[in-house]
């Protein structure tokens, strides 16, 4: 694909994602101050020494934003990758096995999806130790139910095709059929779903941190920064709006790229069908 074929909206999304990951990867080298370093007075205004001002404890907001990108993206990306590893594997296994295995996995998935996601996460995180590993595992478990639903749907469509039946007749095992026949033919919708799940994971992590059950202080993350500085809004302080805007902007950027990927794969399918 030539770069000129990529629409402007997708370029905006790609640029926004690259900026966020650049900040996450090189935070110690590009942040003006340390993540937890108190450098000034409480809620100093933007400009001058502190480009985005300071937060409720006098820490540099720009530095916290840069370090917060690392924490937020690390947790969201880890949870999304784990959710896809579990969801895709189980959904493809259900689609290939059919029968009792499919029924048990599908009904358990329906049961998990019937429980409100945020309420379940709050209950589990309130009981378990509050650390990053537990947070990633909980988010991954909840997101994997959505991945399972899509993965099973697309896998069932492919599993009834002739080349899959031919593989069964050759005596190929379930793992061969899953990884060599079904997975390559379902990558387009799965990649699009990966982008959506990643965006939802960012919002989910930020929501949990805002409620006090996500990333724990003094570590920087965008949702926690909104919580820490929300009282300043009453006094006209915009410190809480900066991380809030970053969360919204990153979610929009991810969705712009996902939209382009979906349109591109749809147009390719349409082109093949016309031919």
Write out pLDDT tens, residues 68-107: 999 999 999 999 999 999 999 999 888 888 889 889 999 9
Residue 1 pLDDT class (50, 70, 90 cuts): low
Number of helices and strands in the chain (H, E)? 11, 0
Instruction: Give CA–CA dist 45/238, Å, rounded.
Output: 9
Helix H or strand E segment including 191: helix 187-210
Start-to-end Cα distance in the chain: 20
Question: Mean of the pLDDT values across residues 45-49?
Answer: 84
Closest CA to 143 of 122, 123, 117: 117
Q: What are phi and psi of 213, to 5 degrees?
A: -120, 15
Whether pLDDT at 182 is above 80: yes
Residue 26 has pLDDT above 90, yes or no: yes
Mean pLDDT of the chain: 87
Q: What is the mean pLDDT of residues 14-33?
A: 93
pLDDT of 268 reads 46
Kindly report the pTM of this predicted structure.
0.87
C-beta of residue 7 within 8 angstroms of C-beta of residue 257 = no
- Among 31-40, 147-156, 164-173, 232-241, whose mean pLDDT is lowest? 164-173
pLDDT digits (tens, 9 = 90+) for 215-274: 888 888 999 999 999 988 888 888 899 999 999 999 999 999 988 887 776 654 544 333
- What does the pLDDT average to over 97-125? 89
Mean predicted confidence (pLDDT) in 196-212: 91
**In terms of Cα–Cα distance, which of 15, 24, 44, 147 is closest to 89?**
147
| Distance in angstroms (rounded) separating the CA atoms of residues 199 and 256 | 11
Q: Quote the DSSP letter at residue 2.
A: -
Tokens of 44: 């100093």
CA dihedral 100, 103, 106, 107 (to 10 degrees): -120
* Residue 252 burial (CB count, 10 A): 14
Domains of the chain: 7-38+64-274 (1.10.3720.10)
Tokens (6 digits) for 21: 């990951």
Question: How far is CA 85 from its chain centroid?
Answer: 14
How distant, in Å, are the alpha carbons of 119, 156, 185 from that of 213? 12, 38, 39
pLDDT computed for residue 270 by the predictor: 46
């Amino acid at each position: 694909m030539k770069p000129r074929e990529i629409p402007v909206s997708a370029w905006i999304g790609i640029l926004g994602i690259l900026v966020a990951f650049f900040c996450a990867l090189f935070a110690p080298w590009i942040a003006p101050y340390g993540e937890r370093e108190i450098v000034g007075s409480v809620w100093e205004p933007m400009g001058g020494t502190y480009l985005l001002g300071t937060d409720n404890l006098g820490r540099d907001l720009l530095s916290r934003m840069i370090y917060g990108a690392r924490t937020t993206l690390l947790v969201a990306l880890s949870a999304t990758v784990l959710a896809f590893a579990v969801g895709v594997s189980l959904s493809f296994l259900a689609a290939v096995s059919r029968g009792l295995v499919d029924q048990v996995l599908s009904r358990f998935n329906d049961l998990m999806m019937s429980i409100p996601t945020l309420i379940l996460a709050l209950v589990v995180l309130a009981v378990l130790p509050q650390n990053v590993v537990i947070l990633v595992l909980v988010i991954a478990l909840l997101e994997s139910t959505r991945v399972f639903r899509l993965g099973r749907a697309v896998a069932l469509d492919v599993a009834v095709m002739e080349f899959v039946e031919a593989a069964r007749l050759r005596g190929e095992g379930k793992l061969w059929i899953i990884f060599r026949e079904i997975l390559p033919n379902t990558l387009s919708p799965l990649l699009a779903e990966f982008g959506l799940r990643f965006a939802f994971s960012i919002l989910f992590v930020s929501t949990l941190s805002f409620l006090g059950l996500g990333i724990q202080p003094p570590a920087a993350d965008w949702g926690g920064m909104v919580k820490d500085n929300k009282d300043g809004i009453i006094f006209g302080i915009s410190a809480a709006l900066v991380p809030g805007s970053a969360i919204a902007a990153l979610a929009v950027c991810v969705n712009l790229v996902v939209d382009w990927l979906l349109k591109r794969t749809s147009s390719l399918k349409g082109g093949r069908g016309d031919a």
